[in-house]
């Protein structure tokens, strides 16, 4: 079920029921800026977005409708890649470099935290990659769930390990 609203701070948001639980999807005029799991507390997420993005006033961007459609197709198993404009305002520096690398991991494939660290040019930054994944503002779309420990263990996931397992299973990984 969707509950689309325009809210404070220059962003629009909606909630979407998914097989891994409700997700809050927020967008600015530039693109999708945040996807949050219910466990993060949607009110807290909206408040943080309002603080970070500024005063109210953004009508619901068309990109939000595209995101809802594409997420629905993904969870239905009819889409493997997202074609959405992303607003990386909530990221920067190393975290943004990690996010861009995560977008290169093919559906159904995984990489280790160490492999991602090496690919962003800092092979010793394995823990920093873990932090960047843990604070990824765009989970599911920016696929941090495709990053595993070197021993093949799941590691952590902002949405919980059951959600990570479900996403990997959905992708055949």
Separation between Cα atoms, residue 1 and residue 15, nearest integer Å:
7
Beta carbons of 53 and 9 less than 8 angstroms apart: yes
Query: What's the CA angle centered on 99, arms 113 and 65, to 5 degrees?
Result: 135
Question: Catalytic pick from 133, 144, 166, 168?
Answer: 144
The H or E element containing residue 67 is helix 62-76
Beta carbons of 39 and 159 less than 8 angstroms apart: yes
The DSSP symbol for 150 reads T
What single string gives the DSSP state of each residue in 69-118? HHHHHHHHTS-SS----B--TT--HHHHHHHHHHTTSPTT--EEHHHHHH
144 is catalytic: yes
Separation between Cα atoms, residue 111 and residue 150, nearest integer Å:
8
Residues labelled catalytic: 144
């Amino acid at each position: 079920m969707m509950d689309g609203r325009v809210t404070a701070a220059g962003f629009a948001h909606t909630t979407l029921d998914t097989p891994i639980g409700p997700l809050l999807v927020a967008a600015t005029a530039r693109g999708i800026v945040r996807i949050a799991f219910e466990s993060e507390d949607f009110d807290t997420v909206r408040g943080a977005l309002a603080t970070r993005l500024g005063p109210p006033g953004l009508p619901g961007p068309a990109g939000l409708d595209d995101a809802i459609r594409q997420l629905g197709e993904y969870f239905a198993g009819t889409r493997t890649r997202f074609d959405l404009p992303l607003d990386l305002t909530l990221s920067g520096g190393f975290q943004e470099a990690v996010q861009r690398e995560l977008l290169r991991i093919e559906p159904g494939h995984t990489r280790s935290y160490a492999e991602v660290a090496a690919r962003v040019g800092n092979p010793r930054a394995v823990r920093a990659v873990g932090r960047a994944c843990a604070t990824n503002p765009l989970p599911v779309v920016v696929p941090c769930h495709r990053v595993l420990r070197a021993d093949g263990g799941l590691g952590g996931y902002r949405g919980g390990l059951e959600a990570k397992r479900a996403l990997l299973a959905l992708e055949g990984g």
